[in-house]
Amino acid sequence: MDKVNLKQKLSLFAGYWQPKIVGELNGQLVKLAKLKGEFVWHQHRDEDELFMVLHGELIIRLRDRDVTLQPGELMIIPRETEHLPVAAEEVHIMLFEPASVVNTGDTASDMTLEKLDRI
């Protein structure tokens, strides 16, 4: 059991849209990611996702509206909800997701990650 320093962990990588695992509890993974630009429209058929913004401004586009998240704010995306994360400038986020989550959900793309690194 060790504490996790989020700033220190975020300093260990530079790539965007490539979440890193920093913890695990009850079948859920705690991930950190840096985002910039636009991701892909996708949904997760069986899993909810939690996005928490640590730095920057993240827009979560939904089919009927956009939600803007600032540092210290979070949003839970219910399963089967199509969404598109967008970051005009660099954003740092923490994610809580079941270990079964594929980052692009049901949308195969060149952004799909088969395996995540642990840091």
Full domain range(s) for residue 55: 29-110
For the segment 97-113, the average pLDDT, to the nearest whole number, is: 81
pTM for the structure as a whole: 0.91
* pLDDT of 11 higher than 80: yes
- What's the CA gap between 60 and 80, in Å, rounded? 15
Asked if the structure places residue 9 within a domain, the reply is no
Asked if the structure places residue 34 within a domain, the reply is yes
Q: Which of the residue ranges 36-40, 92-96, 103-107, 108-112 would you say has the lowest mean pLDDT?
A: 103-107
Asked if the structure places residue 87 within a domain, the reply is yes
pLDDT in tens, 14-58: 999 999 999 999 999 999 999 999 999 999 999 999 999 999 999
* pLDDT of 104 higher than 80: no
- What's the CA gap between 46 and 69, in Å, rounded? 24
Asked if the structure places residue 23 within a domain, the reply is no
Asked if the structure places residue 21 within a domain, the reply is no
Instruction: Say how many domains are in the chain.
Output: 1
Asked if the structure places residue 12 within a domain, the reply is no
Q: How confident is the model at residue 102 (pLDDT cuts 50, 70, 90)?
A: confident
Asked if the structure places residue 1 within a domain, the reply is no
Q: How confident is the model at residue 12 (pLDDT cuts 50, 70, 90)?
A: very high
- pLDDT for 105 equals 77
3-state secondary structure 54-84: EECCEEEEECCCEEEECCCCEEEECCCCCEE
| pLDDT-above-90 percentage for the chain | 81
Q: In CATH, what number is assigned to the domain containing residue 77?
A: 2.60.120.10
